[in-house]
Amino acid sequence: MSYQVDSPSPVRELPGEAVPYYLADGDGRAHLLLGQVGRALAGTEETGGAMSVMTAVGPAGGPIPIHRHEKEHDYFFCVRGVVQVWADGESRILYPGDVASVPAGVLHAYQFHGHYSQFMGPIAPAGWDRFFDFTGTPYAGAAYPQVDPSPPPFEKFGAAEAKFAMKYFPEEAYTEATTGPDDRLPGATKPYFLRAGEGPRHVLFGQVAFQLMTGAESDGRLGMTVTEGAKGPAAPAHVHARTHEAVYCLDGRLRVSADGEDHLLTGGDFMSIPAGVEHTYAMEAHLTRFASMFGPAGPERLHEIAGQVAEQRVFPEQAEPVDRDRLAAAAAELDITFVG
């Protein structure tokens, strides 16, 4: 079964079941909260509980309250604008492509500093997307409104602490942003920041995949990569038996085939691919970049195990031959079955 969304205007209803589906940029279940719009791209029902995928977009403004989640691992990938993130007493200014990873139990907050700022990311376990349903106001427009007419929902914030197993810390200070190397993954489940283009990177199928998070950083809950390549390279058709995959196009044109149907993704478009669904992708622009999110972790290591370390931060002019033995070994380890 497949689920096709034709979306000339924003779509707020998700399919409500674990089927493949496509959302155009600006689609998703949207709610207005404190002048920002949170959009759920996937939730519990769509991923079998593996993860939620959210975006938040808004104008420059004040920081949200410092808080922590008892269960959820939160992740911030800056898509556009300027986003400041606090985590465990440290703070960084994120620009497009920069990330912040916040495990459960860690105090954190964020603030938009630039016009039309936006972040995107997975959250595990699934369910946090409903926080915006609970505290916000349904929003039918594009982007975000010029003025948010609704008062801060203080009573709902209080009730949300119990409903979503979270806690606010109003006495905590917002520390000044600092700089750091932010050029590698910690290899453990701890908060970290990573600058765009940094971290482990590997070449396979003529593409460069940058690892933004592996199972080592998420207690096995989440994996995430950004893959870049030129027109033409494609991944062979494959299936994940246990892993839900979500794809968010950053730049260019990405053709994703899932369950026998083709979808052409451009910047901001999203594809949800449940476990057991055969899929593949091909790049159809001179430069295409997309983020892949996996719940649980594992397939984000395919380029690492089957490919080569990328000495440069850009894809090669010509694709090297694939080592079929290494590809088969990687597939066996990472919940990937290649078809054909």
pLDDT at 134: 96
Q: Quick check: is 267 in a domain?
A: yes
Helix, strand, coil share (%) of the chain residues, nearest 5: 10, 40, 50
Same-domain check for residues 155 and 265: no
- State the residue range of the domain holding 289: 200-338
Asked if residue 213 and residue 144 are part of one domain, the reply reads no
For residue 23, being part of any structural domain is answered with: no
Instruction: Answer for the pair 258, 273: CB distance below 8 angstroms, yes or no.
Output: yes
Burial zone of 324 (CB within 10 Å; 0-12 exposed, 13-18 middle, 19+ buried): exposed
> Do residues 209 and 91 share a domain?
no
Q: Which of 254, 126, 99 is nearest to 192 (CA)?
A: 99
Given a cut of 50, the residues of the chain with pLDDT beneath it are 1-2
- Do residues 118 and 96 make contact, with C-beta atoms less than 8 angstroms apart? no
* CA–CA gap between residue 184 and residue 200 (Å, rounded): 7
In the numeric block, which tokens belong to residue 154? Answer: 């203080």
Q: Is the domain of 156 the same as that of 277?
A: no
pTM of the model: 0.95
Any idea what the CATH number is for the domain that residue 298 is in?
Answer: 2.60.120.10
Identify the pLDDT of residue 149: 86
Instruction: Name the maximum alpha-carbon separation found in the chain.
Output: 60
pLDDT at 1: 42
257 lies in a domain? Answer: yes
Same domain, 56 and 98: yes
Q: What is the pLDDT of residue 3?
A: 52
**pLDDT at 235 (0 to 100):** 85
Q: What is the pLDDT of residue 13?
A: 85
One domain, residues 164 and 32? yes
Q: What span, in angstroms and rounded, lies between the C-alpha atoms of 179 and 272? A: 35
Domain count, the chain: 2
Q: How far is CA 179 from CA 173, 190, 293, 339, in A?
A: 18, 18, 27, 45
Residue 130 included in any domain:
yes
Q: What pLDDT, on a 0 to 100 scale, did the predictor assign at position 2?
A: 45
Q: Does residue 266 sit within a domain?
A: yes
Please give the angle made by the CA atoms of 165, 104 and 117, to the nearest 5 degrees.
95
Q: What are the pLDDT digits (tens) for 215-231?
A: 999 999 999 999 999 99
| Domain assignment present for 7 | no
Are 254 and 330 within one domain? yes
Q: Do 131 and 45 belong together in one domain?
A: yes
- Contact in structure between 202 and 320 (CB atoms under 8 Å): no
- pLDDT (tens digit per residue) in 145-154: 999 988 888 8
52 & 152 share domain:
yes
Q: Of 168, 192, 221, which closes a domain?
A: 168
| Element holding 160 (H helix, E strand) | helix 154-163
Q: Is residue 218 situated within a structural domain?
A: yes
Residues 6+ apart with CB under 8 A from 103: 73, 189, 190, 191, 218, 219
Give, as one character, the DSSP assignment of residue 3.
B
Q: Of 145, 168, 191, at which residue does a domain stop?
A: 168
Helix, strand or coil, per DSSP, at residue 55: strand
Residues 301 and 248 in one domain: yes
For residues 111 and 229, state if they share a domain: no
pLDDT of residue 151: 83
